[in-house]
Chains A and B, each alone.
Chain A
Amino acid sequence: MTQIYDCIVIGGGVIGSAVARELSRYELTIAVLEKELDVCTETSGRNSAVLHAGFNNKPGSLMAKLCVEGNTGFDRTAHELDIPFKRTGKLVVGFDNEDLAGITFLKDQGDQNGCPGLELVDRDRIKSLAPNIEGNFALYSPMTGILNTFLYTIALAENAHQNGAAYFFDHEVTDIFRSGRNLSGRSEPEPEYEIQTNHGRFRTRWVINCAGLYSDKIARMLGNQDYTIYPCRGEYFILDRKLGPYLTMPAYPVPNAKAGGLGIHLTPTVDGTILIGPSAEYIDEKDDYASTQEVSNLLIKDGARIFPRLQANSIIRSYTGIRPKLTGKNSGGYADFVIEERDIFPGAINLIGIESPGLTSSIPIARLVINMIGQKENLREKPDFDPHRHSLLCFRDQSRDVQRSLIQADPDYGEIICRCETVTRAEILAAIHNPLGVATLAGIKVRTRAMMGRCQGGYCQTRITELLMQEKNLKPQEVLYARKSSNMFFGRVREI
């Protein structure tokens, strides 16, 4: 049975969910088709979680414009979505004259882009802003901030869902047809799209391609052959929370113009840990998230130059992300966001190459898409659209008095399941019963921070999987870590 929607968003990551949320302000039926089992499995869950100020982007580009817009408006977004966000500021540090030239360049670029408050600062000022960072001078960007990328993406999705958007997980788009004909044929006067997935068919007026790493593949299904995504992997390390107090804001060395990335970053997280990375390495497969020995050593060495406290034994975890770049290995550098609808394929909006500063630009990107739709249709606002979404209450962050009342109202708040991050049974249960229906172990992890601490789930993993099986009525062999076929278990030791 074909399901019909006014708009279908392909890809439920931060861009797709921001688009879905904006769409849900209007009288439109919306479906989000996500091939994975949660919304932040790919790039949206694997980045530096920085709200960029916009001085790294070329003046006049869409990236520059939307980044500055997204940055300045984020306090309101964070408040509406009830997510943690800190406008920490940022330092881009340098040591020699070449660095100084680089920093000056960035400041000029930022000024042109309209980034507020950029300043060139000296060594003393660096020490007063970030006492544990080494550098002779720096660009200080007061508008840069940090957030939790999982919680932001989940919040966008939950708010979209709350306002009527339907989320379909494990729905991979395999083909797109137009008015019954494959798009490689000629166009018809009334565009209407039929989307084939691995779990059924959908029909819609508007297809919005937010498929990230696979946006080129979806674009080709929509007759647009012009773009190729080149996966460029970045590795990160997460440092123990013990080091957290020593880094108050992101600190980066001046970027090397020839390399494609931004250099070895040191970024505090809103949870009190520190990220170091990412590296930059073009790879062949879009899902090759493996980490490598070479990068481990490199990151520690380079990171220690600007943050001397860094040691190998401070590392508690590593992860990788893959940038969906529009430029290949040999050209390097950046290409601008591609957000386009072509006359030949009306009703299809392709968002391709949304790498950094995609996270920061997510809501302005979504508004741009709405404007494009609004040019062709009369969009009626929903009177009952609610931009406010409530997050899971975080027990650890509450005062002792509030903790007391929580336990009194619900004794499940008194049972600590994840000892390292102080996550209670009540929070685990709430995460298991999340509004989107995500039922993977990684889904619970990113919603609560359970298993993300020092012992990496050594204590709590068995308890959490037990609750997951119990609450979602799963057999052991059905429990998944994050993706399909990431089965954790093979059944029981002793069957009935």
Chain B
Amino acid sequence: MNRIFTCIICPVGCEIEVTTRNPFGYPDKRPDEEPVILEINGANCERGKAYVENELKNPQRIVTSSVRVSGGNMPIVSVRLSAPVPRDRMMDVIEELRHISIEAPAKIGQVVVKNILGSGSDVIVTKQVQKASPH
């Protein structure tokens, strides 16, 4: 099967065509089957090849979302993962975040959850939160 990826590693955005032997799809369709790569064309550099290989075998994503804040000048604060996690764990991460609330104040980079779901990635605050001003 052929598939075209647009590499996102650098601004060139090479269109890389990949030919594989087994039908591959998203992990939720055939989780046990890893595609066998026959050919990669169109990558200008090794990083592009590595990106595409990764996308096929173990796509990773940075998840960004929000968590509840108590006692702050905003009701929720944006957070992100410090490192990418496997794509098929994205929704699990989001589900974990639903139950989390932090206390104001909070600084950018502050760790909300260390090593979330054993992924090796932390959840960090991405916006400064101040204590709510008395009304």
Contacts and interface: CB of A to CB of B under 8 A. Distances in A.
Direct contact of A and B (CB under 8 A): yes
A496 interface: yes
Given A494-B98, A496-B68, A496-B101, 6 more contacts: A493-B66, A493-B76, A494-B66, A494-B67, A494-B75, A494-B76
3 tightest A-B CB contacts, nearest first: A494-B68, A494-B76, A494-B66
Interface residues of B, number: 7
Nearest to A494: B68
Contacts, number: 11
Contacts of B75: 494
A495 B68 CA distance: 8
Nearest to B70: A496
A496 B98 CA distance: 10
A496 B69 CA distance: 9
A494 B75 CA distance: 9
11 contacts: A493-B66, A493-B76, A494-B66, A494-B67, A494-B68, A494-B75, A494-B76, A494-B98, A495-B68, A496-B68, A496-B101
Contacts of B98: 494
Contact-residue size bin, chain A (C-beta under 8 Å from the other chain): under 10
Contacts of B68: 494-496
Nearest to B99: A494
Interface string A463-496: 0000000000000000000000000000001111
Contacts of A494: 66-68, 75-76, 98
Contacts of B101: 496
A494 B68 CA distance: 6
A493 B67 CA distance: 9
Interface string B53-67: 000000000000011
Contacts of B76: 493-494
B69 to A, nearest CB: 9
B95 to A, nearest CB: 12
A493 B76 CA distance: 9
Contacts of A496: 68, 101
Contacts of B66: 493-494
A496 B101 CA distance: 8
A495 B66 CA distance: 12
Nearest to A492: B75
Nearest to B97: A494
A65 to B, nearest CB: 57
Contacts of B67: 494
B134 to A, nearest CB: 16
A495 B75 CA distance: 10
Interface string A254-272: 0000000000000000000
A434 to B, nearest CB: 23
Interface string A65-80: 0000000000000000
B106 to A, nearest CB: 15
A474 to B, nearest CB: 15
B52 to A, nearest CB: 34
